[in-house]
Amino acid sequence: MKIAFIIFLTFFYMGYAHTQNADFEWAIANGGSFIDVSMDNHTDLNGNVYTSGYFYTTVDFDPDIAVLNLTSNGDEDIFIQKLDANGSLLWARSFGGTGDDRGANIVTDQLGSVYISGTFNNTMDADPGPNVFNLISNGYSDFFILKLDLNGDFVWAKSFGGLSAEYYINMDVDAGGNLYLSGSYRDSLDFDPSNAVYQLQANGNTDVFVQKLDTFGNFVWAKSIGGAEADLNNGISTDNYGNAYLTGSYRNTVDFNPGNGVFNLTSSGIDDVYLLKLNHTGDFEWANSFGNVNNESGRAIHVNDSGFIFLAGTFQNTIDLDPSGGISNVVSNGGNDVFVVKIDTSGAFEWGKSFGGTMYESCSQIISNPAGELYIVGSFLGTINFNQTNSISNFTSNGYNDIYILKLGSLGDFQWAKTIGGPHQDAMSSVSLDLSQDLYFSGNYQNTVDLNPDTGILNFTVNGYTDFFVLKLDQCIVNYTTDTIIACENYTWMDGVTYNTSNDTATHILTNVEGCDSVVTLNLTILYGNSSMDTIVACDNYTWMDGITYSSNNTTATHVLTNISGCDSVVTLNLTVLNSSAATEVISACGPYMWIDGITYAASNNTATYTLPNAVGCDSVISLDLTIDNVNTMTSLSGITITALGTGTYQWLDCNKGYAVIVGANAQTYTPIENGDYAVELSNSNCVDTSACIQITGLGVNDNFSINDIHIFPNPTNGKINVTLSEHHLVSRVFLINIAGEVIQNLWIDSEHLNIDLEALTPGLYFLSFETLNAGRLTYKIVKE
């Protein structure tokens, strides 16, 4: 059986978790009858995993029941295997010559192209397809770089080397598809793979080189660093800006500035760890080192997207991991322990950790996920404690060397550890992550090994001396999201809790589509509604904001609006209804009347209205009830008698004496006793008006009528008087008039003698007025005693 899956159940718990374990998903193993070794693996953007290494004789590279045999041309040839995320073979390629050819590193770029680096000797056909592209080494072993497309077809190949042997080559690719190569070399070496020459000379036993090629394999630049002793490179990693970071070991004093400047570092003992940063043009940025009197070496390096550098290596005894002047001592438990250091992009120390047992431990690779958590792989012997803060993570190897997988948090805190091993030597060469944060491992084993690091068992037995494997762990990566909510008054969240105030600390764990924890943090802002009183004083009725017309006082009605925060604003009505008033103004006028409305009414009116504010500020509607009593001041004149045509009470006036009241002249008629102008003052109800003055003439003695012609006796009298008229035919009538001008008696003349009875009259002055035909009216005073 070449591939196996374990079906398992994961129980999710409700609670906050910083990380979760990685569970076994599948493992495959390939090998022939001799030595077959995996050196590196890499995942592309589609979740496919590429494994590179070397093999000898014939190997079936299809982990399924199908067969894809590849056979080496010489001692050892190079292989590339591409599997999908389920562990199924997509393709496999091999190439090599008659000598020893080994694949060292494999990377992919964003376009899916595959780059393989390694060493070869003699002549090697670098085209794994039917065509031939021979590379010829200059010495015992040279470096090669091969580019394949995503289907495994040949694109180009380059080689460079000197007369001596070149050592392990490391590789990384930047976002632009440029390749950064590093390793160790001796003597002199031409680093330009074209016909041009770019020769560098080693200073000592072995020096470190770093080289940049573009995506077409063209030479860009190369640098060399080294002193008089053996200086080794074990890893290279690039950041998002094309800066290159290298680590390894050095002895004595080394100038780490590959340019014209000098930046010397001196080891504390035999071998110390170095960390070097060059920019994208190969210029020196900075270098750090740390170590003690023993052998220390940087074995693996990784730079994450945030620019932090993670460095892993081995040490003995006590070592200060802080290269920037501070102190961060760790102490080994036995032979070689493993250290892990985090450095920022400027070279400043962040933190350092170590783990190990009483025997020897090594590390092969270190990587990080987007959260800054670390995965470290390597091998160990004996019993090892991965959690230096306590003893709960002790593991004991099954054989000579077992494999470990360790996860640390972003602060270097222990998360989990797993081990794999059989009775012989087993080694983990590489680890990579896909976009789903699933882990892929490649390594080598001997004899029989259980490749399931969990409680299940999945044994593989080697076909030859050493076989290689690829292992996938399905890792539940916790998703962290924030649920931002703005609510009014309160909010019942997904955790079932009703929050009445703002909250940015509550969390709730869901299960995401991958079956892993999704930690949701609440970011709740509670806004509040408000209440207010709408106090209104209105007249008669009021139509409020709720559309209802209220005709009486109201303090209970409410209406809900939206306030500036978007919450309810409850308004309570406080309505006082005041009443308008109405009144009628009854007016009696004696003539045209100007009312409060400014209009002059000439006739009675009971329809006009006028509105004024009343005492409470409401309308007071005044209705007019106007009666105009017009006083009839018309008069008529009959002879010398003036008659008032209107009704009412009368007062006759002497116009020539300033409208002096004629005492006793209160009758409707008035007969003056002397010439003059006379008017009547007429009173009707409350109205008083005066007539026009009437002129009276012709009263008194006439020249044509002698005084002797009329005889009146006795005068004064206490009863009767006798009147003798010698010419009675000239007198038409005789009037007895009182002092008020009233005619008391009206007598007709038919003889010379006239008797007039005054006995019933009040004593006083009276007048006899004779109306003549030729002399007008003659008036005589009569005194009644």
The verdict on residue 655 lying in a domain is yes
Same domain, 225 and 360: yes
Domain endpoint, select from 652, 674, 696 = 696
Same domain, 590 and 553: no
Please give the tally of structural domains in the chain.
6
The verdict on residue 21 lying in a domain is no
User: The pTM is what?
Assistant: 0.66
Task: For residues 314 and 385, give the distance between their C-alpha atoms in angstroms, rounded to a whole number.
Answer: 15
Whole-number pLDDT of residue 99:
86
Q: Which of 512, 511, 529, 509 is nearest to 520 (CA)?
A: 509
Task: For residues 524 and 538, give the distance between their C-alpha atoms in angstroms, rounded to a whole number.
Answer: 44
Whole-number pLDDT of residue 753:
82
The verdict on residue 82 lying in a domain is no
Spatial contact of 652 and 678, defined as CB atoms under 8 Å apart = yes
The sign of the torsion formed by the CA atoms of 536, 540, 544, 548 equals positive
Same domain, 620 and 656: no
Spatial contact of 546 and 557, defined as CB atoms under 8 Å apart = yes
Instruction: Enumerate residues 6+ apart whose C-beta is below 8 A from 324.
Output: 288, 347, 348, 349
The sign of the torsion formed by the CA atoms of 601, 604, 607, 609 equals positive
Question: How far is CA 208 from each of CA 138, 140, 261, 303, rounded to the nearest angstrom?
Answer: 19, 18, 17, 20
Does residue 625 sit in helix, strand or coil?
Answer: strand
The verdict on residue 654 lying in a domain is yes
Same domain, 206 and 270: yes
- Residue 355 banded pLDDT, cuts 50, 70, 90: very high
Residue 653 has pLDDT above 80, yes or no: yes
Same domain, 600 and 652: no
Task: For residues 211 and 221, give the distance between their C-alpha atoms in angstroms, rounded to a whole number.
Answer: 6
Task: For residues 668 and 681, give the distance between their C-alpha atoms in angstroms, rounded to a whole number.
Answer: 10
With the CA atoms of 594, 597, 601 and 604 taken in that order, what torsion angle do they form, in degrees rounded to the nearest 10? -110
Residues in the chain: 785
Residue 20 has pLDDT above 80, yes or no: no
The backbone torsions φ and ψ at residue 705, rounded to the nearest 5 degrees and listed phi first, read -135, 110
- Residue 723 banded pLDDT, cuts 50, 70, 90: confident
Q: In this predicted model, what pLDDT tens digit does every residue of 214-239 receive, in sequence order?
A: 999 999 999 999 999 999 999 999 99
Q: Which of 498, 501, 495, 497 is nearest to 525 (CA)?
A: 501
Residue 687 has pLDDT above 90, yes or no: no
- Cα angle value 233/160/244 (rounded, 5°): 40
Average pLDDT over residues 87-109: 93
Task: For residues 672 and 641, give the distance between their C-alpha atoms in angstroms, rounded to a whole number.
Answer: 7
Spatial contact of 770 and 778, defined as CB atoms under 8 Å apart = yes
The verdict on residue 193 lying in a domain is yes
Spatial contact of 99 and 73, defined as CB atoms under 8 Å apart = no
Domain endpoint, select from 578, 595, 617 = 578
Spatial contact of 87 and 62, defined as CB atoms under 8 Å apart = no
Residue 11 has pLDDT above 50, yes or no: no
Residue 535 is given by DSSP the state: E
The verdict on residue 315 lying in a domain is yes
Residue 447 has pLDDT above 70, yes or no: yes
- Residue 279 banded pLDDT, cuts 50, 70, 90: very high
Same domain, 617 and 726: no
Same domain, 537 and 518: no
Same domain, 653 and 775: no
Give the number of other CB atoms < 10 A from CB of residue 201: 12
Least confident of 191-200, 501-510, 659-668: 659-668
How many Å is the Cα radius of gyration of the chain?
A: 67
Task: For residues 333 and 380, give the distance between their C-alpha atoms in angstroms, rounded to a whole number.
Answer: 13
Residue 729 is given by DSSP the state: G
Least confident of 251-260, 451-460, 728-737: 728-737
Same domain, 511 and 566: no
Domain endpoint, select from 578, 598, 615 = 578
User: What range defines the domain where residue 686 resides?
Assistant: 635-696
- Cα angle value 473/476/480 (rounded, 5°): 150
Residue 516 has pLDDT above 80, yes or no: no
- Residue 729 banded pLDDT, cuts 50, 70, 90: low
- Residue 18 banded pLDDT, cuts 50, 70, 90: very low
Q: In this predicted model, what pLDDT tens digit does every residue of 372-426 receive, in sequence order?
A: 999 999 999 988 888 877 766 788 889 888 999 999 999 999 999 999 999 999 9
Q: In this predicted model, what pLDDT tens digit does every residue of 626-650 receive, in sequence order?
A: 888 778 888 888 878 899 888 889 8
Helices (H), 431-500: none
Q: Are strands 374-380 and 361-368 parallel, antiparallel or unpaired?
A: antiparallel
| Alpha carbon of residue 437 to chain centroid | 31
- Cα angle value 440/443/444 (rounded, 5°): 150
The verdict on residue 444 lying in a domain is no
Task: For residues 730 and 749, give the distance between their C-alpha atoms in angstroms, rounded to a whole number.
Answer: 9
Q: In this predicted model, what pLDDT tens digit does every residue of 232-273 receive, in sequence order?
A: 999 999 999 999 999 999 999 999 999 999 999 999 988 999
The verdict on residue 673 lying in a domain is yes
Same domain, 179 and 293: yes
Spatial contact of 283 and 277, defined as CB atoms under 8 Å apart = no
Same domain, 208 and 290: yes
Same domain, 643 and 585: no
SS (H, E, C) 70-137: EECCCCEEEEEEEECCCCCEEEEEEEEECCECEEEEEEECCCCCEEEEEEECCEEECCCCCCCCEEEC
Residue 413, burial from CB neighbour count under 10 angstroms (0-12, 13-18, 19+) = middle
Q: Which of 491, 494, 542, 552 is nearest to 518 (CA)?
A: 494
